[in-house]
Amino acid sequence: MVYRKNIVITGASAGLGEGMARRFAADGRNLALCARRTGRLDALAEELTAAYPGIRVVTRELDVNDHDRVFTVFREFRDELGSLDRVIVNAGLGKGQPIGTGYFTANRQTVETNLVAALAQCEAALEIFREQRAGHLVVVSSFSALRGLPRNLTAYAASKAGVATLADGIRADVHGTPIAVTTLLPGYIASEMTGRAGRTPLLASAERGGKALVKAIESEKAKAYVPTVPWAPLSVVLRVLPTGLLRRFT
């Protein structure tokens, strides 16, 4: 396992991003954290540096849909820390409505944030990694990426399938180099996003989910279902589930 000291996490002010930041800080990593909500982000940075005085935590306000600023912020992080060893493309949006019901704006925003903005983050990270000739790109996709899903999940699943394919292509492009690419496919992990969704089956606690995410990232495998149980076995089921049952259980 390669030890990655300087880690960028986008969407780090809450949810999965915050949970990963806490675990990496406890392990002595330097963090570059960005999100739209700077109040929560700066409070997290103060808390982590107080708890772990040996680490550095730098922050930036960033709306990942401001693509030019993505490149600027990543370069600023690189300059402040000296290098970027790992970039976790985590910022995302979970809203959506059934296609054709008058909510194109919500569905467009979901696809733009989860796919187009993720492309900007991957571009910015890979420019730096290619210059350094090293780095680890982590793309947070979703279990939903495995198949087109109905109702409110249609645009979301499509965006996450797109970003998973994007990561696959980058991985093939840098194969044989010191640049690693990991695609995470989380199931349901307790966060603000899942909290807004109401009752969620097979929900992992934030503690268990965060631990599983960091373990998968540190393994630097090409792909990982998180947590492995039950989502790896369920991935086989989802691919062959008849459409009628798919609609009933999603």
Domain positions in the chain are 6-249
Of 52, 156, 188, 225, the active-site residue reads: 156
pLDDT tens digits, one per residue of 70-96: 999 999 999 999 999 999 999 999 889
pLDDT category of residue 193 using cuts at 50, 70 and 90: low
Residue 52 Cα to chain centre, angstroms: 24
Strand 135-140: give its sheet, edge to edge: 57-61, 30-35, 6-10, 86-89, 135-140, 179-186, 223-226
pLDDT tens digits, one per residue of 158-184: 999 999 999 999 999 999 999 999 999
pLDDT category of residue 205 using cuts at 50, 70 and 90: confident
Instruction: Establish whether 156 is a catalytic residue.
Output: yes
Structure tokens given for 144: 């939903």
Element (H, E) at 7: strand 6-10
Residue range 38-55: average pLDDT?
A: 96
Length of the chain: 250
Q: Which CATH number fits domain 6-249: 3.40.50.80, 1.10.600.10, 3.40.50.720, 3.30.420.40?
A: 3.40.50.720
Mean of the per-residue pLDDT values of the chain: 92
